[in-house]
Structure 1
Amino acid sequence: MNVRLTAMALCVGLGAAPAAAQTPDLAAIARASGTPDIPGLKMVWLAPWGEVSKAHPWKNIIVHQTEGPAGSARGGAQAQSKNPTRRGVTVWVETDGTVYWAVAEHLVPTHGDGANRNDNKYIDNRPTFRQVIGHNSIGVEFAGNYPDVARGPTAAQIEAWRILIKVLRARYGIPLDRVYAHNWIDHKDARYCEGCALATLAREWGE
């Protein structure tokens, strides 16, 4: 009897282990509506998701970095939420990794400078010149590179980006090679390469 009970306990334990070890299905979560919990992300929803079929047809992701102090993402996101089409982006990421979804996904904020880079300095600009623009690209802004614009993203921002990029790509069906740093497609501040480290990480992480 004791042997049988022990065997049953082992079977239950072994059966429970894979369920506990399962990773979250980000692809399924990414197709949700409303304000879903996304494992690994601290999300602040200023604008909930609607039906993904009614979202703007985003084709690219542009990574930005704002020359603002730590803590500025919240204010930027709130201002964006009140005036969605102002110069700015849809998603803001604070230095502590908090992600603010600021704008309803069917609206298009003003960002990007018209894809004016055509010098192949960072990437092949033939498919981007005058083509990867704000109207077809969802923008993500990382705060906190003030007063040193060359300061890279924080460890918390990188970990948030690791998950966020998967969610964005899964939700909108965006290929990996359509993730761009702002500096890759536009002539920007010569003091640093805006968004380059984060866009490079996204491509290195792969699928």
Structure 2
Amino acid sequence: MIWLRPWTELRLAREWRYIVVHQSEGAVGSAWRNAVAQMEKPDRRGVAIWVETDGTVYWSTPEWAVPNHLNKGNRNDNKYIDNSSTYQQIDNESSIGVEFVGNYPNVRKPPTEAQIAAWRVLVRVLQARYDIPNERVFAHNWIDYKDRRYCEGCELARIARTQGVETAQQVEKGQ
């Protein structure tokens, strides 16, 4: 991971409750440029974490910043998942966004093997640091209207939800 903005003391970080996975129509090599632009203006449209096609992860914003990566969870059609508990609940302030670049010009192009390998580690780190259970990892398209051509972030969110990560609270409660 390349830290453009290092972590702070956890007590100073935003209380992230959800992780939202995005896939960008950006070109291969665009993660660095996007991460630097996000670092310079944390509340612009974008995410806190950018993942390049080679698996390099860029942390671009302070942990208290709120990048603009979602509308307020406005999908209520149960097209991909049951949206009854997420409708109007998941927004920029409650969710940390992770963007996987490189599917331009074919938006249906899946993440690379290197991105998937990086994700398997990154999602565990995020879940452990912010105590986010598997069921609170979402693909962008699961909670927010996006693109009819493909399901943005679906493969990556499914991976996160099936890898059996226990959060600190679950271990503490004996779940």
TM-score by length of 1: 0.79
2:97 alignment partner in structure 1: 139
2:111 alignment partner in structure 1: 153
Distance 2:87 2:19 in 1: 15
**Residue 176 (str. 1) matches residue 171 (str. 2):** no
CA displacement at 1:53 relative to structure 2: 1.3
Deviations 1:141-196 (A, max 9, x none): 00001000000000000000000000000000011100000000011110000000
Distance 2:150 2:22 in 1: 12
Deviations 1:89-128 (A, max 9, x none): 0000000000000000011111112111001111110111
Deviations 1:127-148 (A, max 9, x none): 1101011110000000001000
CA displacement at 1:206 relative to structure 2: 1.9
Structure 1 ranges of 4+ moved more than 6 A: none
Distance 2:70 2:28 in 1: 23
Question: Which amino acid counterpart does residue 6 of structure 2 have in structure 1?
Answer: P
1:196 alignment partner in structure 2: 154
Distance 2:37 2:4 in 1: 10
**Residue 122 (str. 1) matches residue 80 (str. 2):** yes
Distance 2:128 2:15 in 1: 13
2:168 alignment partner in structure 1: none
1:48 alignment partner in structure 2: 6
1:29 alignment partner in structure 2: none
Task: Name which of 65, 69, 77 aligns with 1:107.
Answer: 65
Question: Which amino acid counterpart does residue 146 of structure 2 have in structure 1?
Answer: K
Q: Which runs of 5+ in 2 are unaligned?
A: 166-175
RMSD across aligned positions (CA): 0.6
Please give the secondary structure, in 2, of the residue aligned with 1:62. Answer: strand
CA displacement at 1:59 relative to structure 2: 0.3
Question: Which amino acid counterpart does residue 76 of structure 1 have in structure 2?
Answer: N
The structure having more radius of gyration, on CA atoms, is 1
Larger RCO, structure (CA 8 Å, separation 6 or more): 2
Question: Which amino acid counterpart does residue 150 of structure 2 have in structure 1?
Answer: Y
Number of aligned positions between the proteins: 165
Distance 2:139 2:3 in 1: 24
CA displacement at 1:54 relative to structure 2: 1.1
Distance 2:53 2:98 in 1: 13
Please give the secondary structure, in 2, of the residue aligned with 1:191. Answer: coil
Please give the secondary structure, in 1, of the residue aligned with 2:124. Answer: helix
1:3 alignment partner in structure 2: none
Task: Name which of 63, 82, 93 aligns with 2:21.
Answer: 63
Deviations 1:12-63 (A, max 9, x none): xxxxxxxxxxxxxxxxxxxxxxxxxxxxxxx111000000111001000000
